[in-house]
Amino acid sequence: MVLAFGLTFASTNLFAQQGASARVPVSPPVPIWSQPFAVPNGPLPPVRPQVSNLRSPVVVGQSYDGIDLFGSNCNCLPPDTNAAVGGNFVVETVNLQIRIFDKGTGAVLLDEPLSTFFGAPAGSDPYVLYDDIANRWYVVAIDGPLVGLFLAVSNDSNPLDGFGLVYDITSGLGGAVPDYPKPGFNKDAIFITYNNFGNGTAAATIVSIDKAAALSGTLTYYVSTPKFQFRAMPPAQMHGDTRGGSEYFVSTDGTDAGGNTIRVTYMKNYLSNAPQFLYTSLPVRQYQNAPRADQPGGSITTFPNTTTTQVHFRNGQLVTAMASATAADGFVYPKGLIYRITFSPLKVAQFVIDPGPGVAVQMASVDMDKNGHLAVTWMESSTNEYLSMWVGNSLTNRVDVAPGGGFFTYNFRIGDYSTTVLDPSDHLTFWSANEYIGSDGTTDIWRTHITSFTTP
């Protein structure tokens, strides 16, 4: 149907806490021994066997575990699970570890603490990208003093050849925690956004880095503050950009408590002290912070949600995802909200990951293949299902790639993000990284998993 403001709104059900946002940093991660400890409410009920969806057209390829709690060099929550793919490699970062895998076998080729990787103590919130324009890897994190941002740039397309360029960006960032950093890129720049707690408002702030200079060993960057947005304003990964000069961001519209619009921010003149912004708020179905998520025997936190964390630009379109409650169940359980944005005119199509009543969907991320097909990963739980990792693109096209096995006891925080990325070698295979809970939710917690798959 067509709504006001010229917006064409297509709503497709892929799978058939309201109030002011708390202005608190989400960093650094908190040791698990400092977390509230939850216990089941009586004997654990029988758990429904998960459907393997053997007839699903989703074809799972390589699938292997990533870094878990005890391999993280952190013993803390959240994990900040994310991964990128390029060439023959998958690179995963969590708090506070980096691991390089052989893409085809899952063999671990490098495994080291981020402090070793950066050559200095690292704070938190790591994120890895593969820039398929420059054929380079970028790793971003908050630095150890929590006042700057690390940016490591690989020497070439092989991450095992090293990251010879490591920058600690501090000047102009505000002097406080540059919280929740999210990277992106286009042809001529690398972008990092963060929440600036140094200015008293926690406003989203943009660091625009001259890519050519950074790749050659010189750090040239500009810091700017767009229209207010809290929690995350992720820059797009502008795959296939050949012209430069334009960058996009997709976020909620100023708050992470809820709303009925999402904001597309267009930025130009970013490699200057006089950037220009154009903001477009697109009406979508109302969303709110979700107050509830269940697991067999108890509940699971829903913090944080209602925030986009990853944006891809492909095929002339933008795609992003977040977890948030909808009116379908009275704004109770989080569901996965997927947004596909097209141009000329600017339009948004919204899709909902909703496996059913009482099922919580968290940490959703999405990407698009060269044929325009979307693929999603998410974490799922209910009174009959421990926290599990799923991938797919519809009710019949979904697979539980990492079934949960135990009660999640340290559930102060669900995580911060997941990732879904397209393999640049064929532009058809997706790779997703997400979390699940092992057989013992006290010790075998926040296991991470990496899965490749294709969709119909």
How does pLDDT run across 87-127, given as a tens digit for each residue? Answer: 999 999 999 999 999 999 999 999 999 999 999 999 999 99
Nearest to 362 by CA among 282, 454, 437: 437
Confidence of residue 16 (pLDDT cuts 50, 70, 90): very low
Q: Is the predicted pLDDT of residue 414 greater than 50, yes or no?
A: yes
Tokens 């169940």: give the residue.
329
Q: Is the predicted pLDDT of residue 302 greater than 60, yes or no?
A: yes
Is the C-alpha dihedral spanning 275, 276, 281, 282 positive or negative? negative
Confidence of residue 4 (pLDDT cuts 50, 70, 90): very low
The count of other CB atoms within 10 Å of the CB of residue 116 is 12
Q: Is the predicted pLDDT of residue 5 greater than 60, yes or no?
A: no
Q: What value does the mean pLDDT of the chain take?
A: 90
Confidence of residue 441 (pLDDT cuts 50, 70, 90): confident
Q: Give the range among 5-19, 172-186, 259-273 with minimum mean pLDDT.
A: 5-19
Q: Quick one: what percent of the chain has pLDDT higher than 70?
A: 91
The pLDDT tens digits of the residues spanning 277-294 come to 999 999 999 999 999 999
Q: From CA 77, how far away is CA 387, in angstroms rounded?
A: 15
Q: Give the range among 18-22, 147-151, 415-419 with minimum mean pLDDT.
A: 18-22
Element at 39 (helix H, strand E): none
Q: The whole model's pTM is what?
A: 0.93
Sheet containing 419-422, strands listed edge to edge, beginning at the edge strand earlier in sequence: 59-65, 447-454, 430-436, 419-422
- Show me where the domains of the chain are located: 4-117+204-454
Nearest to 383 by CA among 293, 303, 305, 304: 293
User: Which residues, other chains included, contact 382 with Cβ-Cβ below 8 Å and sequence gap of 6+?
Assistant: 294, 295, 356, 358, 359, 360
Taking residues 362-389, report their average pLDDT.
Answer: 96
Taking residues 308-319, report their average pLDDT.
Answer: 97
Q: Give the range among 25-39, 248-262, 395-409 with minimum mean pLDDT.
A: 25-39
Q: From CA 365, how far away is CA 376, in angstroms rounded?
A: 6
Q: Is the predicted pLDDT of residue 263 greater than 90, yes or no?
A: yes
The pLDDT tens digits of the residues spanning 38-93 come to 888 877 766 655 554 445 689 999 999 999 998 999 988 889 999 999 999 999 99
* 118 phi, psi to nearest 5 deg: -85, -15
The pLDDT tens digits of the residues spanning 314-343 come to 999 999 999 999 999 999 999 999 999 999
Give the pLDDT score at 405: 92
Nearest to 276 by CA among 244, 245, 304, 239: 245
Q: Is the predicted pLDDT of residue 18 greater than 70, yes or no?
A: no
Taking residues 364-385, report their average pLDDT.
Answer: 96
Q: From CA 456, how far away is CA 454, in angstroms rounded?
A: 7
Confidence of residue 15 (pLDDT cuts 50, 70, 90): very low
Task: Give the SS3 label for residue 33.
Answer: helix
Task: Give the SS3 label for residue 252.
Answer: strand
Q: Is the predicted pLDDT of residue 202 greater than 50, yes or no?
A: yes
